[in-house]
Chains A and B, each alone.
Chain A
Amino acid sequence: MELFSNLALGFSVALSFHGLLYCFVGVMLGTFIGVLPGVGPLVTISVLLPITYNLEPSSALIMLAGIYYGAQYGGSTTAILVNLPGESSSVVTCLDGHQMARRGRAGPALAIAAIGSFIAGTVSNVVVAAFAPALSAWALNFGSPEYFSIMVLGLVTAAVLSHGSMIKAISMIVLGLILGLSGTDVNSGTYRFTFGLPELTDGIDFVVVAMGMFGLAEIIANIQRPEAREIFSSKVSNLLPSRADMKASAWPIARGTALGSILGILPGTGTTISSFMSYALEKKFSRHPERFGHGAIEGVAGPESANNAAAQTAFIPTLTLGIPHNGTMALMLGALTMFGIAPGPQVMTSHPDLFWGLVASMWIGNLMLLVLNLPMLGLWVKMLAVPYRLLYPAIVILSCVGVYTLSNSSLSVVLLAVFGLVGLVFVKLDFAPAPLLLGFILGPMMEENLRRSMVMSRGDPSIFVTRPMSVAMLLIAAILLASMLIPMIRHKKEEAVASDA
């Protein structure tokens, strides 16, 4: 069995001293960062990226991945204890998790989050191990037209599944696409929107935009929200969930795992969406939907499993297609490039130790998290007591140092500040920055693939509808778009009718 020999190779990498060490460092850092409100894996990885240049690529990737899924764990800890989501995917966990904590059931809530995540992590890891090779063989047939179509689908999915105002989400995507235009045109070599600054000829760095819009903007916004800081740790007792809790959580964990595993593979969806959808699904399946929002353990178990499963299977498109699934994945892809490894279908065959080492380390990392996290809770809660006046300046300084080291350019720091302010305005106006980042990441790639496809077809756009995979993805995108627009139009009509009457 090739799978087993591959896994043996993977475990030989992951269980080596360096593999274990960097996995441990990664998950510890990730948990630590996840617990810090508003500081997600994106900021952590971007700050730590330059440090990893001196490591082996496999060690570096194991550590970065550890930070990534470790943060998923840490994020749920603060979400449950203090109703503060450490990152976007734990927003859902706040809904019922924090209600459980208020009722003195913080222990079972934290435990079920950890157990659900571990089960989801294990299952989705098998999915990665078993299906990633098949996907990657198939991925070589993925040409420029298919890449273009899948990115169209990704953008549409992001608009459909993101919550809140549709118009706002779409306008943020468009703004992201526009920001992505800055740089050198890949076909003609012409500089676009560089304003005479040589630093901009390679485009605006994604990390600068992400850290500004998320990190800095969130920090400034948090200062203005003092009410969000109540700490609820006094009653963390009775750590383990009861037999009834386990029984109630079994199916939500299974469903969440399945949902997360699927959504994780699709580029453009992600952990946040999978946790929202899992929550909605559990509420629909429940015989007592009214309990949701008042401390239903299913509302913690499902979404937590879903977001962890998605976090793992997200590595499939990242590693086999070279498509960044979210900001963090984009950073990790960037890290691969820094090691001279072109992200894409060939990573698995040309760097099997890297790929399988990562797969194996993800399972070990999940186990480490389960074993480490529960006894560490008391410490995490204490860390939250660090005054914000000390915590935030430290984060800001780290961010500035981080972006400066990207290309040793002070313009990056200036841009960071600009995007921080822009991000703050968006927070105030209730525009979610995530669609903007998605547009920013996908836009330039979409354009590049569109134009290359047109060169290939000598200007005939039918290339997108004559290739089966491309047309399939465009059709799905069209259906999704229609499913989103039709209810909106109908709703408007009904409103118009209602106001007439």
Chain B
Amino acid sequence: MRKLCAAVFAISMAACLPAAAQADYPTKPIRLVLPYPAGGSTDGIARLVADGMSRRLGQQMVIDNRPGAAGNIASDLVAKAAPDGYTLLLGFNTALTVTPGLSPNLTFNVQKDFVPITELADGQYILVVNPELPVKNVAELVAYAKENPGKISFSSGGLGSSHHLSAELFMAMTGTKLTHLSYKGGGPAATAVLGNEAQMVFGSVATTVPHIQAGKMRAIATTGLQRFPALPDVPTLDESGLKGFDVGTWYGLLAPAGTPQPIIDRLQQAASAAVNEDSAKSGLALMGLRPIGGSGKDFNDLIVRETATWARIIKEAGIKLQ
């Protein structure tokens, strides 16, 4: 019923908007809702994007931090907001593509309640092991894991996190059995590998690259289809025999469903230009990210594709939330 009301409201709002108002857009500050608290790395991306877009749109973009419930609080807020282009979501991969497969009782439907505007940036994870583990590459890791089933533990930032699901995908593709140690967040998960409590992790660039350089972690592979520029000698999983292994982190801009197309186009152009300017590029590189700024359709395809992939892995691995 609530959903119906929201839909009716959304449609009537969209119908009421005169064409002239769309041409002037934006006439007031735009709220960018963020599923993370202030200060985190996502906050950094948001500030970068908001700054560049504000200059291009001639209106301030105000960042509204709404952390909590693995990003669902922010998603829910934007899904139910008026589709007038003044409330936008800065979404990220797990909240938009993993959560729908994990929690059947969401208060919103990612593919029905949002219009993807553009994918802003993407990055990859790095499979690292503790240097005491006698493996140097993926083949050795798989062989070692098969000889010692269950002996290798991998750490993750929590159930359903990218680190966790990457490892589930790895196990499914290689037929290995690893023990899952769940931590609160990616930082402690990386620390666990430093202390050899867990032997491997699919870690973010920020939590692994400094330690790889210090020799406290050994990089085995990266999770994207192309090698990571800062670690040119580290192969991808795809080229290491796990054909088609492609997991990454990404951030994108979304609007509530029903937002008029001219507004979406305007936002897409501004966002795409904002992430591709030089200062934004170097800022994103610091976070191990690559600017994208593609079309809304490409972004939509990405969401649909990854949601299907994760739903399959979640089902095969038997991961359940209540």
Q: How far is the CA of A349 from the CA of B68 in the complex (A)?
A: 31
Chain A residues numbered 443-486 whose CB sits less than 8 Å from any CB in chain B: 448, 452, 455-456
A contact residues around B65 at 8 Å (CB): 407-408
A contact residues around B122 at 8 Å (CB): none
Partner of A338, one of B38, B195, B214: B38
Chain B residues numbered 198-246 whose CB sits less than 8 Å from any CB in chain A: 206-207, 210-211, 214
Overall SS of chain B's interface: mixed
> Is A193 part of the binding interface, using a Cβ–Cβ cutoff of 8 Å?
no
Chain B residues numbered 264-322 whose CB sits less than 8 Å from any CB in chain A: 321-322
Task: Indicate whether A448 sits within 8 Å of B160 (C-beta atoms), given known contacts A53-B38, A189-B321.
Answer: no
Whether B159 lies near A143 (C-beta < 8 A) is: no
B contact residues around A448 at 8 Å (CB): 183-184
* Stretch from B79-87, B113-121, B185-193 forming part of the interface with A: B185-193
> Is A392 part of the binding interface, using a Cβ–Cβ cutoff of 8 Å?
no
Whether B183 lies near A455 (C-beta < 8 A) is: no
Which residue on A lies nearest to B67, using beta carbons?
A407
> Is B137 part of the binding interface, using a Cβ–Cβ cutoff of 8 Å?
no
B contact residues around A340 at 8 Å (CB): 39-41, 206
> Is A188 part of the binding interface, using a Cβ–Cβ cutoff of 8 Å?
yes
Which residue on A lies nearest to B107, using beta carbons?
A198
A188-200: CB near B (< 8 Å → 1, else 0) gives: 1111000000110
B contact residues around A349 at 8 Å (CB): 214
> Is B51 part of the binding interface, using a Cβ–Cβ cutoff of 8 Å?
no
Whether A408 lies near B191 (C-beta < 8 A) is: no
> Is A241 part of the binding interface, using a Cβ–Cβ cutoff of 8 Å?
no
Q: How far is the CA of A409 from the CA of B206 in the complex (A)?
A: 29
Interface size class of B (residues with CB under 8 A): 35 or more
Whether B195 lies near A201 (C-beta < 8 A) is: no
Task: Indicate whether A342 sits within 8 Å of B190 (C-beta atoms), given known contacts A143-B197, A186-B158.
Answer: yes
A contact residues around B179 at 8 Å (CB): 455-456
A contact residues around B168 at 8 Å (CB): none
Partner of B68, one of A142, A187, A202: A202
Which residue on B lies nearest to A201, using beta carbons?
B69
Chain A residues numbered 370-422 whose CB sits less than 8 Å from any CB in chain B: 406-409
Whether B153 lies near A456 (C-beta < 8 A) is: yes
B contact residues around A199 at 8 Å (CB): 68-69, 73
Partner of A198, one of B73, B187, B210, B322: B73
Whether B197 lies near A144 (C-beta < 8 A) is: yes
Interface size class of A (residues with CB under 8 A): 35 or more
Whether B187 lies near A339 (C-beta < 8 A) is: no
Q: How far is the CA of A344 from the CA of B189 in the complex (A)?
A: 11
Task: Indicate whether A452 sits within 8 Å of B69 (C-beta atoms), given known contacts A198-B76, A340-B40, A340-B206.
Answer: no
Q: How far is the CA of A345 from the CA of B76 in the complex (A)?
A: 37
Chain A residues numbered 132-186 whose CB sits less than 8 Å from any CB in chain B: 140-144, 184, 186
B contact residues around A406 at 8 Å (CB): 37
A340-357: CB near B (< 8 Å → 1, else 0) gives: 111011100110000000
Which residue on B lies nearest to A198, using beta carbons?
B69
A contact residues around B191 at 8 Å (CB): 342, 344-346
> Is A50 part of the binding interface, using a Cβ–Cβ cutoff of 8 Å?
yes
Tell me the smallest distance from the CB of A336 to a CB of chain B, in Å: 10
Task: Indicate whether A141 sits within 8 Å of B195 (C-beta atoms), given known contacts A189-B321, A339-B39.
Answer: yes
> Is B141 part of the binding interface, using a Cβ–Cβ cutoff of 8 Å?
no
Q: How far is the CA of A186 from the CA of B188 in the complex (A)?
A: 13
> Is B72 part of the binding interface, using a Cβ–Cβ cutoff of 8 Å?
yes
Whether B153 lies near A338 (C-beta < 8 A) is: no
Task: Indicate whether A456 sits within 8 Å of B64 (C-beta atoms), given known contacts A190-B321, A338-B40, A344-B191.
Answer: no
Whether A143 lies near B195 (C-beta < 8 A) is: yes
B160, B190, B197 — most chain A CB neighbours (10 Å): B197
Which residue on B lies nearest to A444, using beta carbons?
B184
A contact residues around B41 at 8 Å (CB): 340
> Is A238 part of the binding interface, using a Cβ–Cβ cutoff of 8 Å?
no
Whether A342 lies near B160 (C-beta < 8 A) is: no
> Is B146 part of the binding interface, using a Cβ–Cβ cutoff of 8 Å?
no
Whether B207 lies near A342 (C-beta < 8 A) is: yes
B56-80: CB near A (< 8 Å → 1, else 0) gives: 0000000011111110110010000
A contact residues around B195 at 8 Å (CB): 140-143, 345
Task: Indicate whether A346 sits within 8 Å of B40 (C-beta atoms), given known contacts A198-B76, A201-B70, A202-B67.
Answer: no
> Is B94 part of the binding interface, using a Cβ–Cβ cutoff of 8 Å?
no
> Is B182 part of the binding interface, using a Cβ–Cβ cutoff of 8 Å?
yes
Chain B residues numbered 151-200 whose CB sits less than 8 Å from any CB in chain A: 153, 158-160, 179-188, 190-191, 194-195, 197
Q: How far is the CA of A345 from the CA of B67 in the complex (A)?
A: 27
Partner of B181, one of A188, A342, A452: A452
B contact residues around A140 at 8 Å (CB): 194-195
Tell me the smallest distance from the CB of B130 to a CB of chain A, in Å: 11
B contact residues around A286 at 8 Å (CB): none
> Is B142 part of the binding interface, using a Cβ–Cβ cutoff of 8 Å?
no
B contact residues around A452 at 8 Å (CB): 181-183
> Is B48 part of the binding interface, using a Cβ–Cβ cutoff of 8 Å?
no
Whether B197 lies near A337 (C-beta < 8 A) is: no
A contact residues around B37 at 8 Å (CB): 338, 406-407
A–B pairs, 28, beta carbons within 8 Å: A143-B197, A184-B158, A186-B158, A186-B182, A187-B182, A191-B322, A198-B68, A201-B69, A201-B70, A202-B67, A202-B68, A338-B39, A341-B187, A342-B186, A342-B191, A345-B191, A406-B37, A407-B65, A407-B68, A408-B65, A409-B66, A409-B68, A448-B183, A452-B181, A452-B182, A455-B179, A456-B153, A456-B197
Which residues of chain B have a CB within 8 Å of any CB of chain A? 37-41, 64-70, 72-73, 76, 102, 153, 158-160, 179-188, 190-191, 194-195, 197, 206-207, 210-211, 214, 321-322
Which residues of chain A have a CB within 8 Å of any CB of chain B? 50, 53, 140-144, 184, 186-191, 198-199, 201-202, 337-342, 344-346, 349-350, 406-409, 448, 452, 455-456
**Shortest 3 CB-CB contacts between residues of A and residues of B:** A342-B187, A338-B39, A189-B159
